[in-house]
Structure 1
């Protein structure tokens, strides 16, 4: 990271990514190769159920030439370990609203002595390289999702947890928790607004500030707020929108 003065550090910028809801590896490879900087397989609300399916989807993303992340279904070590064993470059862990939960997520992503991840190099038969523990600990990214009022109140302490590499906003759950709609959450650009609080906590530690957008308009708003890792669109929504536009154009002719 680059020192920027005072106690702040330039946050890591991972760019704009694709959110993967499809379970078809061919679709995922084609979509991920469309110019995105990364792609994230959604095991929580998407179609991916983990195991062999995730291995294929992660391989499809990496075949497109971009890093692959997995949003695990929950903050559980076996889910985090399985995603990483399947070849993911990092995990997005939902509903983290305390220091204890952040520590548990970070520990599950690292091998001993830094963490509690189990070493199981059995995925070599799937073409997944056997990890070198020290290098894997350095390379993996653990991104924790702040989606509750409790998590927002604790965001500075969560960001300070060793092994947490970034904080990722879930705008739908967070807006519900705050009694807002998503538009209202994104429109609050005050210094003490939810978005600025998360970005400030990340910037103070040189962490990734991530968020789900789902549309170009939201990408612009989140980028202006200081987020450095933004999920631009869901692959299935993108296909549906493109299909609708193509059909409309064809009928108009």
Structure 2
């Protein structure tokens, strides 16, 4: 089993980006965030807009992931061709789904189509061999957010090419018939997924609503934190301003 790590501190802190503005990426990178995640699942991002956001991330040297809206080959290839740093893949409920997603990110032994013209290949400057080497091994983090996903988590995390697991507690709560992301059943399942991911030597991620929760989830084994979003950060700043 291969172990994939990201080149940043043991505790990695980022946020979701839901607003299509490259300036937001520049600000987050300038503030020192370890990464950001474009939320193309729940926010309006098309290919052209993602293209601009990736350029902004490169300008400040900040890794930029994307939470893709679906598992379709064209969706995955588009994101990778633009030079995204990694994929956060929602609703991975089985080992078969995990294997299929990984295959769609790989040239050799996979299903990813090749072109030397996109950004990831240096717009044709790298040549085929170096471009393939540059494009292989993109981190794939599978989002676990259902009973089925929890049941299959041990198999999913063992898939070669899966860099880690990310617990989506909101949808996980809904799969339990609950509307509380901190309900005992949800928290117990979260602990189990984070623990088995840590033991597998892979990235254990979780979405948090507030930075104050980091210590709690670090104790559960989490190392990769997506805290709120650009929208929630703006809202908290505006409320603090008005409160002052």
Aligned-residue offset at 1:186:
8.9
| CA displacement 1:99-143 (0-9 Å, x = unmatched) | 110001111111122x211112322499767562124313x1001
Matched, 1:79 2:78: no
Q: How does 1:226-241 map to 2 (within 5 A)?
A: 226-241=221-236
Q: Go from structure 1 to structure 2 and tell me whether the alpha carbon gap of 1:205 and 1:247 turns closer, same or farther (over 3 Å shift).
A: same
Aligned-residue offset at 1:86:
1.0
In 2: Cα distance, 1:124 partner to 1:226 partner: 35
In 1: Cα distance, 2:143 partner to 2:225 partner: 13
Q: How does 1:27-42 map to 2 (within 5 A)?
A: 27-42=24-39
Given that 2:82 and 2:120 are in contact with CA atoms closer than 8 Å, whether structure 1 keeps it comes out as no
Matched, 1:65 2:61: yes
Aligned-residue offset at 1:82:
0.7
Matched, 1:109 2:108: no
Aligned-residue offset at 1:47:
2.8
Which residue of structure 1 lines up, in the alignment, with residue 146 of structure 2? 148
In 2: Cα distance, 1:79 partner to 1:111 partner: 16
Which residue of structure 1 lines up, in the alignment, with residue 238 of structure 2? 243
Which residue of structure 1 lines up, in the alignment, with residue 210 of structure 2? 215
Secondary structure in structure 2 of the residue aligned to 1:230: strand
Given that 2:40 and 2:69 are in contact with CA atoms closer than 8 Å, whether structure 1 keeps it comes out as yes
In 1: Cα distance, 2:98 partner to 2:242 partner: 46
| CA displacement 1:151-178 (0-9 Å, x = unmatched) | 1001001111111111111111011112
In 2: Cα distance, 1:109 partner to 1:10 partner: 15
| CA displacement 1:171-226 (0-9 Å, x = unmatched) | 110111123411225984xxxx2122112221232111111112113333222211
Q: Which runs of 5+ in 1 are unaligned?
A: 2-8
Secondary structure in structure 2 of the residue aligned to 1:209: strand
| CA displacement 1:64-97 (0-9 Å, x = unmatched) | 2211100000111211111111110110111000
| Greater Cα offset, 145-154 or 21-30 | 21-30
Q: TM-score, normalised by structure 2?
A: 0.87
Q: Go from structure 1 to structure 2 and tell me whether the alpha carbon gap of 1:186 and 1:133 turns closer, same or farther (over 3 Å shift).
A: farther
In 2: Cα distance, 1:68 partner to 1:122 partner: 20
C-alpha root-mean-square deviation of aligned residues, in Å? 2.5
In 2: Cα distance, 1:218 partner to 1:225 partner: 11
Aligned-residue offset at 1:11:
7.2
Secondary structure in structure 2 of the residue aligned to 1:82: helix
Given that 2:54 and 2:84 are in contact with CA atoms closer than 8 Å, whether structure 1 keeps it comes out as yes
Q: Which runs of 5+ in 2 are unaligned?
A: none
Given that 1:67 and 1:89 are in contact with CA atoms closer than 8 Å, whether structure 2 keeps it comes out as yes
Given that 2:139 and 2:163 are in contact with CA atoms closer than 8 Å, whether structure 1 keeps it comes out as yes
Which residue of structure 2 lines up, in the alignment, with residue 136 of structure 1? 135
Given that 1:14 and 1:208 are in contact with CA atoms closer than 8 Å, whether structure 2 keeps it comes out as no
Q: TM-score, normalised by structure 1?
A: 0.84
Q: Go from structure 1 to structure 2 and tell me whether the alpha carbon gap of 1:186 and 1:30 turns closer, same or farther (over 3 Å shift).
A: farther
Secondary structure in structure 2 of the residue aligned to 1:97: coil
Given that 1:92 and 1:142 are in contact with CA atoms closer than 8 Å, whether structure 2 keeps it comes out as yes
